[in-house]
Amino acid sequence: MLQNSILEGFSTIFLSIILEAIPFVMIGAFVSSLIQIFVSEETISRIIPKNRWLGLIAASLMGFIFPVCECAIVPIMRRLMKKGVPLHIAVTFMAAVPIVNPVVLASTYYAFSGQIHMVFLRGWLGLTSAILIGHIIGIWQGKNNPMKETPSLVHAGCGCGHHDHDHHVHSHDCGCHSEAEEGVFDLMDDSCCGHHHSYHGKQRTGVFSKISEIIEHTSLELYDVGKFLIMGAFISAMMQTFVARSYLLSIGQGQLTSIAVMLVLAFVLSLCSEADAFIARTFLGQFTTGSIVGFMIFGPMSDIKNTMMLMGTFKKGFVIRLTALMFAVCLMMALLVNFVGL
């Protein structure tokens, strides 16, 4: 009888997280597909101002125009840098866009049952953190380019599992082994989003072809993001069902320990930013508000899959410094929330 009760409680928590999150994941996947197909990186590059501070602010607000989640942000950031966007702008763009965009903020509002202060804290602190991180990276790196000189497509470097590519470019089997041609680099960028793309030397044309492409890209995006959502919901439900509430409270009420635990959890779970608020909400009342906000701003900036993708593009030392900086800034912001007592 007790075993059935535990299983029923686990199933209820697990399914409620999935059912609440999936509509926002679907919206995000659809919007991401539209941007992937119809918006070029040149457009983004033209929009960003040349002034340093205006550029940082503009990059942090790009999510309102290009609302993509962190699942696709690293390949976009890489293409932006190859098209001449400065490093500090690209880093700010990568850190802010998965947080400060309408889909993510709407999902946060819904997840926390209309608690507008949680939406404000996530949006404002995410934006502030991204600008601060970009500015510091710009000072640290100066004019030094941290990108690897000859990027190579390695499955482990992408961190996205096995890819089945069907790229017919020149005489190469998959078009991923050339180290000089810009067109091939673009194929490498696309391959890191975890999707199977079919390029046959020319772009698809016609309304029905575009609709088909949107549906295909959306379904693949849902597949990639859905895996991480299910994993996160499973772990969250397991913790709430099988870990004693008294133990969670002993960790979760510590001003520093609660934040550290939630930041590490955000990094490990690798959740999509369109769904992570539903996971974070389940810890409400067990962990401090600052730790929950830290979870929602650090996860979209840095997690396992994005770190592995960054390792495939940038030098190892830069990726380690960037990850440590993101962790420190998000920790500081979370401590600030706890200190103010929100």
Q: Which amino acid is at 144?
A: N
CB 41 within 8 A of CB 81: no
Ramachandran angles phi, psi of 271, nearest 5°: -80, 155
In angstroms, what CA-CA distances link 320 with 75, 154, 307, 308?
18, 19, 9, 11
Q: Would you state the structure tokens that stand for residue 127, as one six-digit string? A: 């934006």
**How far is 159 from 313, CA to CA, in rounded Å?**
12
Q: Which pLDDT band holds residue 226 (cuts at 50, 70, 90)?
A: confident
Over range 113-136, report the average pLDDT: 95
pLDDT band at 327 (very low <50, low <70, confident <90, very high): very high
Residue 99 is classified by DSSP as T
Total tally of structural domains belonging to the chain: 1
3-state helix, strand, coil in the chain (%, to 5): 70, 0, 30
Q: What is the pLDDT of residues 25-45, one digit of tens each?
A: 777 678 767 767 776 767 777
Given a cut of 50, is residue 151 above it in pLDDT?
Answer: no
pLDDT at 237 over 60: yes
pLDDT at 205: 61
68/161 Cα distance (integer angstroms): 21
- Find the domain containing 109 and state its range: 2-340
Confirm if 56 and 90 have CB atoms less than 8 A apart: no
pLDDT band (50, 70, 90) for residue 203: low
pLDDT at position 254: 84
Helix (H) or strand (E) segment spanning residue 130: helix 116-141
Residue 342 is predicted with a pLDDT of 64
- pLDDT at res. 162: 41
Q: What is the rounded CA–CA span in Å between residue 147 and residue 315? A: 6
Indicate whether 259 pLDDT > 90: yes
pLDDT band at 16 (very low <50, low <70, confident <90, very high): confident
pLDDT exceeds cutoff 50 at 175: no
Contact 297, 122 (CB under 8 A): yes
- At 243 the pLDDT is 73
